[in-house]
Amino acid sequence: MVSQATISLCMAISSIIFNCFRIFQSMVDIYVNLDKIVVIGNAWEHFNKIKDDETLKSCKLELFMKPYFFSLGGLIPNKNIQWILKVSQHHL
């Protein structure tokens, strides 16, 4: 349930930006003007367009002989890496 204060705020501001269609739909449900709502994509969504590349598998087959986990991150500490390491210990 959306509070009356949230509804009033949404009516007063010039635009609302979301990265989730579900939240967008809830704003439509409380009658926010569609012209005020902007939905932007998440940064990871471009990965859906990447095709599999079997080159490494054909060159280094030994890397794929045992189960493995792949985690992609940057140089900034990743808040999920500890969770990934913990879960992977239970599944290898």
User: Tell me: the pLDDT tens digits for 52-88?
Assistant: 888 888 888 888 888 777 777 777 776 777 887 888 7
CA distance to 20, 38, 46, per residue, from 25 (Å): 9, 11, 23
The domain in which residue 24 lies consists of 4-89
Question: What pLDDT does 73 receive?
Answer: 74
**Tens digit of pLDDT for each residue in 6-45?**
666 656 655 555 555 556 566 666 666 667 666 666 667 6
Question: What pLDDT does 71 receive?
Answer: 76
pTM over 0.75: no
How many folded domains does the chain comprise?
1
CA distance 43 to 45: 6
